Amino acid sequence: MIEGYHKAQKTGWAIEQLPSTSARALQPMIGPLSAAGVTLLTLPAAGRDTRAATRPAAAYVDRGYVAVLSAWRPGTARPDWTVRESYWALGRLGGHQNRKSDRPPGWIVLWRGRMAPQHMLDGAEAVGVQVRGQT
């Protein structure tokens, strides 16, 4: 898990290529990137857990992401989406084909799909749809 975490920081978030090199300048960036890295590393296990079929996704990921992912995949926003449903949707956005012979999406595939919900949120709000801050 620790090896995967460091790989997520180096490969996924390109932490070694950040423009600043001083510890003071990097500190505010490393915190949020670390939290996002931990979420990406733990999401595959959470998505495959037997309880994931009933656990609400909003307890694990941002409610705005749940809203746009559920609207993207089945076509209707569903705030009751489960962790498993959001895991597989994010995997599809990252390039997972979801064929019977495919292994479940890992953190790298999820990392590839991670920006799509953010762009969906930004696009929805650009046209006047309020998504963030939903309860």
Phi-psi region of 132 (alpha: psi -120 to 50; beta: other; left: phi over 0): beta
Question: What's the pLDDT score for residue 135?
Answer: 43
Task: Count how many residues are written for the chain.
Answer: 135
Task: State the DSSP code for 11.
Answer: I
Task: State the DSSP code for 100.
Answer: T
What whole-number distance in Å separates Cα of residue 16 and Cα of residue 9?
8
Question: What's the pLDDT score for residue 133?
Answer: 58
What pTM did the predictor assign?
0.72
CA dihedral (112, 107, 84, 95) positive or negative: positive
Phi-psi region of 76 (alpha: psi -120 to 50; beta: other; left: phi over 0): beta
pLDDT in tens, the chain (135 residues): 777 777 777 776 677 777 766 778 777 777 777 777 777 778 888 888 888 888 898 887 788 888 888 888 777 778 888 888 888 988 999 999 989 899 999 888 888 888 888 888 888 888 887 776 554
